[in-house]
Structure 1
Amino acid sequence: MNIARSSVKLSVAHGGKAIITFGGIAFFANQLSPGELGVFFLFEALVGVLMIPADLGLRGAAEKRISEGDSPSEMLTTAVLLKALPLFVIVSGVLLFGSYINDYAGESVAVLLAVAIVGQELYQFGLQIVSAELRVGETAILRLAHKLIWFVVGYFFLASGFGVTGLIYGLLVGYAIPFVWAMIKRSTAFGRPSMEHVHSLTAYSRYNFVSAVSGYFYSWMDVLIIGWFLTSAHVGAYEVAWRVTGVVIIGSSAIAQTIFPQVSRWDAEEAIERIERIIPQAVTPSLIIAIPAFFGTLLFSREILTFVFDAEYATASLVLVVLMAEKILQAVHVITGRSLKATNHPELAARAAVVAITTNLILNVVLIQQYGLIGAAIATVVSFGINTAMCVNYLSRYLTVRIPWRELAWVVVSSVGMTLVLLGTESVAPVDSIFSLFGVIGFGAVVYAGFVLLSPSLRLKIAQSIRMVKSDGAAGEPVRGDD
């Protein structure tokens, strides 16, 4: 598998997804009130949290075991059978307590929620099976199709008078079509299940389940608690800020998804040196966008929310700054956390997750009541910082983790230089419209790139990455000058 090429494919797909999501939310924010849009975000939050017990970590376990190459067909069938029971229980519970769910969400969404949980599980399972076959790059189009279908179908239903429910219909169709496509693209056939494979999957999934809890709770716990203590309008404003920050970790997520099956295979082959070389190669690209994005948000958070969405969402401008700082931590965590699980230490990732979940829950309950939306953002940063630090520490016990401090220092210097240039620019040409906002963002990107390219090591790394994308060799092989 060419890791560089697959990472680029996924980055392009994630970039396309981000553009569609960003544009879609911006469009829908101008068609719906923050309260109405908040209902959709609460629906997504419920799907995200209920997916945890519906999956029990089995999707990640299936990807791990199939990627190892030992009895993949039997592993696939066993995983499907194991997943059926918890999924049935959760869906039945949603239908049984539908009236309470409808009251909480503010719309009659319980039946749609049950369908969405099944759809999301099938969609994610299909992607992870193809990824486990070391064909991660081929999932790029499926991920992009999911968001594109959501926007097109959602727009159609919204225009037809379905209101916020139309966005939910778009979500459901967006799950179904890529799942069918993934099943057609997979090469792993169904085999005969066995108790041996049950033990293998559950031994991994019980720890992967806890890590999954961390991921989904991290993504949705604050939204659910905001919806409980505050209003759906607050949910809408907070989640819009969150979606803006999601754009900056496109590359990080793509790299993490790409290297997981390859690191898993190298771990099975005891090729430890290869794993130790690929981690520092992944860290710099993960942070090269997140760091300048934080500095840019310090300057233009209110303008972004006002001109791209609506003035009503500008109340979350400080939230946007705090959450953008958190994305720097997330860019590191997606690499180290998945590497920890890929090297067959899900129990340590689970331990870090338990600490982070507990911290996040306590801080959200306390700080949201005390400080509102900014309290939720602070809770997220603190808890995720703890999770990231613990994962880095655990990984360093088994691998020599080399952090490219010199390169990262230059990225920070370049970001500060960009900020100073933009401050000077704004004093001459104030940002007073969406066109001037995008113009100054584009100018800032050019200035930042110019500063970055002044570093010989970063120029070399960028050139090597481009060559690896064009070649058929596997990225992640030794790169001269990295050590």
Structure 2
Amino acid sequence: MEEKAKSNYWLKSGIINILQNMSGVLFGVGGFVFLVRILSPQHYGTWILFTTTTTIFSLVRDGMIRNALIKFLSSASDQDKPKILTAALVINLLISLFCVLLNLSLAHYLAKEWDNPEIENVFYVFNIVYIVNGILTQFNCIEQANLNFKGIFLTGFINQAIFFLYIFYCYIFKIELPLINLVLVQIVAVITSTVVAYFFVKDYLNFAKEISKEWIAKLFNYAKYSFGTSVSSILSGTVDKMMLGGIINSAAAGAYDIVIRIINLVDIPTNAMATIVFPQSAKRIETEGKDAIKYLYERSVGAILAILLPGVIFLYFFADFVIFILADGKFPEAVPMLKVTLIYIVLLPYGRQFGAILDSIGKTKITFYMVIFITVFNLVMNYVFIKNYGMIGAPYATLLANVVGFIIAQVILKRELNVNVINPFIYAYYFYPEMYKKFAEPIFAKFKNKKSE
């Protein structure tokens, strides 16, 4: 019975999280397809630089609360849960205030740097999105800590759908699209999503009346490394776009953004599995020990590789066609960049699960120093490669950084959990036969029996 419950958790959670990530990425790609046809390459590049910057602000705040809240809340007693919720809310509000002030101080400088005065007011209005999104993030974390994902999927779907439908409307009716309008629509979307999220978590919202200094300290001590890891990881993933925009121009950043959007589509299983594994790993380390975590890591990476590789192979051979269809022929220079990027995407499941596993077993300090090193290395390599090789230098620099990160991560996992780098490929090999036996075979058997009757 217990084994069946575990199997149902992985199946249901996996489907919901893959649907969540898929809907988000599909809406993102769909929005891009129409947005790139409405805006000029220069304006589209400016919008990408804006969203990259504001995403960093959002993930700075999320890095301080997400993993810490999920980890402690998922294994806390009923007595401690209200104290944890209140402590997390206090940290959330303080970080939000800090990032709003940072956003206000940078708006004028970035508008001047990107040679687009319009973007300054866009930054100011975005603060509304940022504040409301902080509440939504905390609601989603509470639901995830309780091993539920339906609300997370639905709110993410609503958020992305509203934004996409507005862009689609503007494209169909050939309506001029100032960048400020995109942020106004984001405000409507995030408020709607937050209201929906409330109904999924209202039964868990039992806050303590007093602020627990002990729990603030616990959350902060855990989160300070998780926060550093998140920020460094964000910078590592966005530094190439930022540098292309700064060293070459905003249109170059826009071209590389197309590549990243395609990669995000292929990377859906990795993101979904990391979301599921983190709370499970936090529970299992307490009850089953490191052997269970080793198996969890190798098996999850293997499952991701099995799903990932067919898409990677297809995209590599049809890169020209995919870029032409998505970008309306505006960014042909993205084709060689995509092919280089596809080489290192196979390493991403190893790295993503490395962070999720080590954070869940309390080794956030290791993850922190690891990601700091890779971020600095990626930053230096991007500067050198873009200066010397132009746009193609960005994916080559990130490829090199990912290879170095992969080697270091596997050495650490071997020492901490005795992980075998080959085992995920073995699990990947057996993934499809296992899925066939577990799900397809019983369906075919039922169909055969009905036919014979």
TM class by shorter chain equals 0.7 to 0.9
2:207 corresponding residue in structure 1: 190
Residues 73-92 of structure 1 aligned to structure 2 (within 5 Å) = 73-92=82-101
2:218 corresponding residue in structure 1: 200
Q: Does 1:310 align with 2:328?
A: yes
- Find the aligned partners of 2:130 and 2:438 in 1 and give their Cα distance: 38
SS class of match (1:190): coil
What is the CA distance between 1:253 and its match in structure 2? 1.0
SS class of match (2:318): helix
Aligned to 1:153, which of 166, 181, 194? 166
- Find the aligned partners of 2:129 and 2:240 in 1 and give their Cα distance: 21
Gaps of 5+ in 1: 412-454, 471-483
1:100 corresponding residue in structure 2: 109
Q: Does 1:139 align with 2:152?
A: yes
Post-superposition CA distance 1:70-104 (Å, at most 9, x none): 41221111011122223212212322343212223
Q: Does 1:37 align with 2:44?
A: yes
What is the CA distance between 1:166 and its match in structure 2? 3.0
Aligned 8 A contact 2:266 2:308 in 1: yes
Post-superposition CA distance 1:157-205 (Å, at most 9, x none): 6754333333333333333322232232113221243111011101101
Gaps of 5+ in 2: 1-5, 444-453
Residues 198-347 of structure 1 aligned to structure 2 (within 5 Å) = 198-347=216-365
Q: Does 1:5 align with 2:12?
A: yes
Aligned to 2:141, which of 125, 128, 138? 128
Amino acid aligned to 1:171: Q
Q: Does 1:179 align with 2:194?
A: yes
What is the CA distance between 1:50 and its match in structure 2? 2.3
What is the CA distance between 1:394 and its match in structure 2? 2.2
Q: Does 1:68 align with 2:68?
A: no
- Find the aligned partners of 2:437 and 2:288 in 1 and give their Cα distance: 26
Aligned 8 A contact 1:157 1:163 in 2: no
- Find the aligned partners of 1:251 and 1:314 in 2 and give their Cα distance: 28
Residues 404-443 of structure 1 aligned to structure 2 (within 5 Å) = 405=423, 408=425
Compared with structure 1, are the counterparts of its residues 461 and 214 closer, same or farther at alpha carbon in structure 2 (3 Å cutoff)? farther
What is the CA distance between 1:133 and its match in structure 2? 1.4
Overall identity of the aligned pairs, in %? 21
- Runs of 4+ aligned structure 1 residues displaced above 6 Å come to none
1:349 corresponding residue in structure 2: 367
1:168 corresponding residue in structure 2: 183
- Find the aligned partners of 1:386 and 1:174 in 2 and give their Cα distance: 39
2:124 corresponding residue in structure 1: 111
Amino acid aligned to 1:166: N
Aligned 8 A contact 1:290 1:331 in 2: no
1:435 corresponding residue in structure 2: none
SS class of match (2:333): helix
- Find the aligned partners of 2:48 and 2:195 in 1 and give their Cα distance: 26
2:449 corresponding residue in structure 1: none
Compared with structure 1, are the counterparts of its residues 117 and 399 closer, same or farther at alpha carbon in structure 2 (3 Å cutoff)? same
What is the CA distance between 1:214 and its match in structure 2? 2.4
Aligned to 1:47, which of 50, 54, 57? 54
Compared with structure 1, are the counterparts of its residues 391 and 119 closer, same or farther at alpha carbon in structure 2 (3 Å cutoff)? farther
Compared with structure 1, are the counterparts of its residues 99 and 380 closer, same or farther at alpha carbon in structure 2 (3 Å cutoff)? same
What is the CA distance between 1:127 and its match in structure 2? 1.7
Aligned 8 A contact 1:154 1:168 in 2: no
What is the CA distance between 1:236 and its match in structure 2? 1.2
Post-superposition CA distance 1:334-368 (Å, at most 9, x none): 22220111111111111111111111111122222
- Find the aligned partners of 1:273 and 1:212 in 2 and give their Cα distance: 27
Compared with structure 1, are the counterparts of its residues 458 and 94 closer, same or farther at alpha carbon in structure 2 (3 Å cutoff)? closer
Compared with structure 1, are the counterparts of its residues 273 and 316 closer, same or farther at alpha carbon in structure 2 (3 Å cutoff)? same
Compared with structure 1, are the counterparts of its residues 295 and 56 closer, same or farther at alpha carbon in structure 2 (3 Å cutoff)? closer
Compared with structure 1, are the counterparts of its residues 392 and 174 closer, same or farther at alpha carbon in structure 2 (3 Å cutoff)? farther
- Find the aligned partners of 2:337 and 2:19 in 1 and give their Cα distance: 27
TM-score (norm 1): 0.81
- Corresponding residue pairs, total: 424
- Find the aligned partners of 2:438 and 2:128 in 1 and give their Cα distance: 42
Q: Does 1:358 align with 2:376?
A: yes
Aligned to 2:31, which of 24, 29, 41? 24
TM-score (norm 2): 0.86
- Find the aligned partners of 1:171 and 1:464 in 2 and give their Cα distance: 44
Amino acid aligned to 2:181: G
Aligned 8 A contact 1:55 1:86 in 2: no
SS class of match (2:295): helix
What is the CA distance between 1:54 and its match in structure 2? 3.9
SS class of match (1:47): helix
Post-superposition CA distance 1:137-156 (Å, at most 9, x none): 54222222221122123444
What is the CA distance between 1:55 and its match in structure 2? 4.8
What is the CA distance between 1:296 and its match in structure 2? 2.3
- Find the aligned partners of 2:336 and 2:388 in 1 and give their Cα distance: 16
Compared with structure 1, are the counterparts of its residues 211 and 396 closer, same or farther at alpha carbon in structure 2 (3 Å cutoff)? same
Post-superposition CA distance 1:297-333 (Å, at most 9, x none): 3322122111232212111111111122222111222
Compared with structure 1, are the counterparts of its residues 8 and 278 closer, same or farther at alpha carbon in structure 2 (3 Å cutoff)? same
- Find the aligned partners of 1:260 and 1:392 in 2 and give their Cα distance: 18
2:3 corresponding residue in structure 1: none
Aligned 8 A contact 1:238 1:316 in 2: yes
